[in-house]
Structure 1
Amino acid sequence: MTKSDRGTAVNRRSLLAAGALISAVEVSTAPAASAASSRYVRGMAVLRRVSGDRGAEVIESLSDVAPDLGRYVVEFAYGDVYARPGLDLRQRQLVTIGALAAQGDTAPQLRFHIDAALQVGLSPVEVVEALIHIVPFMGFPRALNAVNVARDVFADRGITFKPPAQTDGRDRYERGVQKLVEVDGQHGLDVVESLRDIAPDLGRYVVEFAFGDVYHRPWLTAPQRQLVTIGALTAFGDTAPQLRVHLGAALRVGLSRDQVVEALIHVVPYAGFPRVLNAVTVARDVFEELPG
């Protein structure tokens, strides 16, 4: 193998590692013109809207090892899922950011989708806010790693902005209770009360930190926050009780049942069918328990 060949191989491996759900131009791995499916054509059109011209080399890099994988990304992730009408592209990127950040080992894909989020119109503040929002659900390490990815994307794009900081001086528990009732209703208070006999401080932290600090931040709307939450809890898996609460909260703050189901379906390309099937079972139970 020549030095040039080795360089090409290394570049191909790096592109594969980038793993981004690819970009936007037909390349040699596209189906032949006579065999191109409507799903592929539709997927490439959506992909252009999401990613501009980025990522064509990733598709090309699959041609010698898994050309069908590139086709599946275009046809299924974009031609089937992203093309569905239930959520707009900004909403879909919030779900995606939540799902990828929650999994913790998806930095290349998160990089691609933070860039895509900016491409479809989310602001840098909204992107960072979505990453801060996952802390109560997934912990600080995943959020810190994701924010570092966002910093790199902003630098690549030449984006500078003044990040906002919370200045509300009210008592954290007071504002947390207010936000908890707004999002979860009486059920949220019941959960906190249920901890009083075993871990009262845990209940207080839920109120003060999760809702008084994080949920109270004004830089995402309540429906946007629930889209991030749904993406994160579904992708993480093993969170049925929490997902039940937050699917109900999503309906409470204004998302429709169709939008909730759409957010769950959107997670499939990022976390797979089993987690989404489990989440849909939770959603069915929530819908049956709530009026309307």
Structure 2
Amino acid sequence: MFSGNDSSLQETDPEFIERFDNFAFDEVVNQDDLDDRTRFMAILATLLGCQGSDEFRMMLPAALHFGVTPVEAKEIVYQAVAYLGIGRVFPFLKITNEVLKEMGTELPLPAQATTTMENRREAGTQAQVDIFGEGMRDFWKSGPEESRHINRWLADNCFGDYYTRTGLDYRQREMITFCFLAAQGGCEPQLTSHAAANMRIGNDRAFLIKIISQCLPYIGYPRSLNALNCVNKAAEKIMKENDESGKI
């Protein structure tokens, strides 16, 4: 993972780094059967969410080594803006560009946008419907007049500008969104909603528990346990919906 990069903590904090490395890179990794590419995508998204910029700089080359492409790495950073804000993401964009250049990647990367300023709202609404269900069809024009524009922005900006891009599919985008929300904390209603969305498009409860487990060394136990609680709430809600619709 970190070929040629010896940590100074081996000299200053040998007992700590021995236990942390054994936990994060042995015990946690061997707990599940996540493929390396998915594992590192989750780690990068989690480090964005918790603002772990130094760790992100160290993990990005490892992620690229284990199969995350430059386009996928950039898409993770871009989508983070919708959930973390540019104030928190801008340093990570600079780090990503620096690391990619150091590794010989030519920038800018190939364009991934599939929408225009004219059709982004319609495309964003369709992405919301694809992920959350038909109930989102008219969400963009719902709510009190004074705040309705925010629901429109969710459709045209959050989903129309980001989710419609190539480079990551819906399942990957919902997985990294789950990581953004779990890692930053204080977003439990949105985290529960996106946990349910993950399950609806194929990232089931067992998969999300694997993601939480992988993220735990980077965000700690309280936020990981909160995320697990949100996953369980979402699973119960989906089971109840399926019961009522006769699917179970």
Asked if TM exceeds 0.5, the reply is: yes
| Counterpart check, 1:53 vs 2:3 | yes
1:98 matched residue in structure 2: 45
| Counterpart check, 1:214 vs 2:155 | no
For the residues of structure 1 that align with 2:183 and 2:114, how far apart are their CA atoms?
A: 32
- Work out whether residues 115 and 164 of structure 2, in 8 Å CA contact, stay in contact via their aligned partners in 1: no
Instruction: Tell me the amino acid that sits aligned with residue 185 of structure 1.
Output: G
- Work out whether residues 95 and 263 of structure 1, in 8 Å CA contact, stay in contact via their aligned partners in 2: yes
1:34 matched residue in structure 2: none
Q: Which contiguous aligned blocks of 4+ residues in structure 1 show a shift greater than 6 angstroms?
A: none
What CA deviation, in whole Å up to 9, does each residue of 1:91-141 have, x standing for no partner? 11111111111223x222111111111010111011000100111100112
What CA deviation, in whole Å up to 9, does each residue of 1:187-212 have, x standing for no partner? 54576565344410000000000111
For 1:238, what is the secondary structure of its paired residue? coil
Unaligned runs of 5+ in 1: 1-50
- The verdict on how the C-alpha distance between 1:255 and 1:167 changes in structure 2, with shifts beyond 3 A counting, is closer
For the residues of structure 2 that align with 1:192 and 1:242, how far apart are their CA atoms?
A: 17
- Work out whether residues 182 and 223 of structure 2, in 8 Å CA contact, stay in contact via their aligned partners in 1: yes
Mean Cα displacement is larger for which, 179-188 or 52-61? Answer: 52-61
| Counterpart check, 1:115 vs 2:65 | no
Identity, % of aligned positions: 27
Q: Which fold has the larger relative contact order, with Cα–Cα distance below 8 Å and residues 6 or more apart in sequence?
A: 2
**Residue correspondences, number:** 238
- The verdict on how the C-alpha distance between 1:54 and 1:108 changes in structure 2, with shifts beyond 3 A counting, is farther
For 1:83, what is the secondary structure of its paired residue? helix
**Structure whose CA Rg is larger:** 1
| Counterpart check, 1:228 vs 2:193 | no
For the residues of structure 2 that align with 1:270 and 1:190, how far apart are their CA atoms?
A: 38
| Counterpart check, 1:128 vs 2:56 | no
For the residues of structure 2 that align with 1:168 and 1:190, how far apart are their CA atoms?
A: 19
For the residues of structure 2 that align with 1:68 and 1:225, how far apart are their CA atoms?
A: 37
1:58 deviates by 3.5
For the residues of structure 2 that align with 1:268 and 1:191, how far apart are their CA atoms?
A: 34
What CA deviation, in whole Å up to 9, does each residue of 1:255-280 have, x standing for no partner? 12211111112221111100111111
| Counterpart check, 1:287 vs 2:214 | no
Q: Structure 2 residue aligned with 1:253, among 201, 205, 222?
A: 201
Unaligned runs of 5+ in 2: 240-247
Q: CA RMSD in A?
A: 1.9
Taking the TM superposition and a 5 Å limit, the aligned residue runs for 1:98-247 are 98-104=45-51, 106-165=52-111, 166-169=113-116, 171-189=119-137, 192=140, 195-247=143-195
2:18 matched residue in structure 1: 71
Instruction: Tell me the amino acid that sits aligned with residue 103 of structure 1.
Output: C
For the residues of structure 2 that align with 1:86 and 1:255, how far apart are their CA atoms?
A: 14
TM-score (norm 2): 0.88
1:246 deviates by 0.7
What CA deviation, in whole Å up to 9, does each residue of 1:154-204 have, x standing for no partner? 122122255233253461111111000111114545765653444100000
